[in-house]
Amino acid sequence: MPTTRLILASASPRRRELLVGLGLAFEVVVADVTEHEHPDAEPRAMVAHNAALKADWVAARHPEAWVLGADTTVFINGTVLNKPADLAEARAMLRRLAGRTHTVYTGVALRRAAEGVKEDHGVTSLVTFKPFDDAVIDSYFRLVNPLDKAGAYGIQEGRELIIAGWEGSFTNIMGLPMEVTKQILTQRGLLG
- Cα separation of 100 and 131, whole Å? 8
* Strand blocks (E) in 77-116: 79-81, 101-112
pLDDT tens column, 64-84: 999 999 999 999 999 999 999
In which domain, by residue range, is 27 found? 6-187
**Ranges of residues in the chain whose predicted pLDDT is under 70:** 1-3
Which residue(s) pair with 60 in the sheet?
none
**Sign for the pseudo-dihedral over CA of 57, 60, 62, 65:** positive
Answer whether residue 192 is part of any domain.
no
Answer whether residue 68 is part of any domain.
yes
Answer whether residue 15 is part of any domain.
yes
Q: What is the CATH number of the domain that holds 141?
A: 3.90.950.10
Give the residue numbers annotated as catalytic, written as ranges. Answer: 71
pTM reported for the whole predicted model: 0.94
Answer whether residue 109 is part of any domain.
yes
Of 77, 85, 45, 52, the C-alpha closest to 67 is 52
Answer whether residue 130 is part of any domain.
yes
Residue 76 near residue 16, CB atoms below 8 Å: no
Answer whether residue 1 is part of any domain.
no
What's the structural domain count of the chain? 1
* Strand blocks (E) in the chain: 6-8, 27-28, 66-76, 79-81, 101-112, 117-129, 163-167
Predicted local distance difference test score (pLDDT) of residue 38: 86
Predicted local distance difference test score (pLDDT) of residue 3: 62
**Count of Cβ atoms closer than 10 Å to residue 34 Cβ:** 8
Answer whether residue 180 is part of any domain.
yes
